[in-house]
Amino acid sequence: MPKLKGLYPPREAYASGMLDTGDGHQIYWERSGNPQGKPAVFIHGGPGGGCSSVHRQLFDPNDYDVMLFDQRGCGRSKPHASLDNNTTWHLVEDIERLRKMAGVDKWLVFGGSWGATLALAYAQTHPEHVSEIVLRGIFTLRKQELHWYYQEGASRFFPDKWQRMLSILSPEERGDVMAAYRKRLTSKDRAVQLEAAKIWSLWEGETVTLLPTEDAASFGEDDFALAFARIENHYFTHLGFLDSDDQLLKNVERIRHIPGVIIHGRYDMACQVQNAWDLAQAWPEADLHIIEGAGHSFDEPGILDQLIRANERFARA
């Protein structure tokens, strides 16, 4: 078997700043790599997860000029954990603002999990400005996907961790876990918000990898958990602010001419492999890679290998 490819060495951003959206948000952005390289935008997951310096290492710094940014309300963006003017379509236009600010006509769009959702929404809205699409851990925000992860499905594989999710809910509330958490995450009592946020966030942190990882503990840190849980629950309660349950699959026709790669772990418990399969059926021109022995996270060896290979391939396109 060929040796699996890994992350590039750490590299500092060569520029960073805050983008004023004009409606109450300040978006943190940074650029790294080669200022003369192929333009790309990295779209992080969550929603509410924020980007990290390690995400720069997914791109060859000699070949790419990569834009990373923290979506509204999370990471270094301000105001922290804000739900105001925070929808999929606000984020789509934020990406477009960043493209114009960067002065590029087209760029590679890279996203995983919720980042894949937002990447699809952006590409379908602005296909003329997308050169290639690299997606990982497909999530199209259909009701069945949310029901799987937050009601019945993944809980059967992690009954001990799911019990913690149910522990603060009354028996009556357990019939709609997302709605019950919505009440707590939007409470005026910060202590109530924080208790719910930590439990919500740890559920994801402890179930997104095939094998346990120490990184899961970071999901329970106060600031991260509050933004992550509040924003995620906000988006999921509103079904991603999409017009229909299958909007992102139905509108794939708009991007079928764009070269694409779909990468998904066989044992992804957060987003079932069926999601990737359904997207590939709608988009047969894209390359589908189902990774055996992998879950959801971008840095699981087989997934990371294919992400790096896709970026290397498109760097030469």
What is the residue-averaged pLDDT of the chain? 97
**Residue 253 maps to a domain:** yes
- Within-domain flag for 50: yes
pLDDT for residue 213: 87
The predicted pLDDT at position 214 comes to 84
Q: Do both 129 and 231 map to the same domain?
A: no
What pLDDT was estimated at residue 316?
85
pLDDT at 159: 98
Counting the structural domains of the chain, the total is 2
268 belongs to the catalytic site: yes
Residues 46 and 111 in one domain: yes
Flag whether 117 is in a domain. yes
Q: Is 8 part of a structural domain of the chain? A: no
Q: Is 77 in the same domain as 154?
A: no
Mean pLDDT over residues 240-252, rounded?
A: 98
One of 65, 94, 268, 305 is an active-site residue; which one?
A: 268
Q: What pLDDT sits at residue 230?
A: 98
Query: Is residue 4 included in any domain, yes or no?
Result: no
The helix-helix angle for 190-205 and 159-166 (nearest 10°) equals 170
Task: Answer positive or negative: Cα dihedral of 312, 94, 88, 206.
Answer: positive
- From 32, 77, 113, 297, the catalytic residue: 113
Pairing of strands 38-43, 64-69: parallel
pLDDT for the residue 42: 98
pLDDT digits (tens, 9 = 90+) for 21-80: 999 999 999 999 999 999 999 999 999 999 999 999 999 999 999 999 999 999 999 999
Range of the domain at 168: 142-238
25, 129, 289, 296: the catalytic one is 296
Statement to judge: residues 254 and 296 lie in one domain:
yes
Question: pLDDT > 90: what percent of the chain?
Answer: 97
Q: Compute the average pLDDT of residues 293-306.
A: 97
Asked whether residue 180 is assigned to any structural domain, the reply reads yes
For residue 131, name the pLDDT band (cuts at 50, 70, 90): very high
Looking at the structure, tell me whether residues 295 and 187 fall in a common domain: no
Looking at the domain assignment, is residue 2 inside a domain?
no
The answer to whether residues 196 and 229 touch, using CB atoms and an 8 Å cutoff, is yes
Place of tokens 């095939």: 210
5 lies in some domain: no
Do 49 and 84 have their domain in common?
A: yes
DSSP state of 7: P
Shared-domain flag, residues 108 and 44: yes
